[in-house]
């Protein structure tokens, strides 16, 4: 709902579901409640996979930094990220992520 003093009308956005990271469909997510509104959001593990996908597919080094940052500040299933990377054929990118993660934790 727009702010009462806003001149903009209520906007409707297309539903982005089903969501995928690489070739893997996201079937589960977490929710964040803000007041009465619930937002579907990626888990930290899915977020790391999404950022690694940007790094792998678009050579976005900032996305790699974001993946490392998310992994250092949240509980992330590294084994699941590795499985995903292997399935996507991106083992070398996963190794670069692990190197960045080790540096960030030192």
Question: What digits encode the pLDDT tens for the residues 60-84?
Answer: 999 999 999 999 999 999 999 999 9
Is the overall model pTM greater than 0.85, yes or no? no
User: C-alpha angle with apex 58: 56 to 59, nearest 5 degrees?
Assistant: 65
When pLDDT is averaged across residues 43-60 and rounded to a whole number, the result is 96
* Count of domains forming the chain: 1
pLDDT higher than threshold 60 for residue 96: yes
Q: Which domain holds residue 75?
A: 43-105
More confident residue, 4 or 42: 42
Q: Do 19 and 53 contact (CB within 8 A), yes or no?
A: no
pLDDT, residue 19, reads: 84
pLDDT, residue 2, reads: 59
Q: State the angle between helix axes of 44-58 and 61-73 in degrees (0 to 180), rounded to the nearest 10.
A: 160
Tell me, yes or no, whether 60 lies in a domain. Answer: yes
**Measured distance CA(55)–CA(64) in Å, rounded:** 6
Tell me, yes or no, whether 85 lies in a domain. Answer: yes
> What residues contact residue 27 under an 8 Å CB cut-off, 6+ apart?
none
My answer on whether omega of the bond before 18 falls inside 30° of 0, hence cis, is yes
Tell me, yes or no, whether 5 lies in a domain. Answer: no
Tell me, yes or no, whether 17 lies in a domain. Answer: no
pLDDT higher than threshold 90 for residue 40: no
């Amino acid at each position: 709902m727009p702010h009462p003093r806003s001149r903009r009308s209520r906007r409707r956005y297309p539903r982005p579901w089903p969501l995928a990271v690489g070739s893997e469909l996201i079937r589960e997510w977490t929710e964040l409640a803000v007041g009465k509104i619930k937002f579907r959001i990626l888990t930290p593990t899915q977020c790391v996979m999404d950022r690694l996908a940007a790094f792998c597919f678009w050579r976005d080094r900032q996305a790699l930094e974001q993946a490392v940052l998310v992994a250092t500040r949240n509980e992330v299933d590294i084994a699941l990220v590795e499985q995903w990377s292997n399935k996507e054929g991106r083992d070398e990118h996963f190794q670069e992520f692990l190197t960045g993660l080790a540096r960030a934790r030192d």
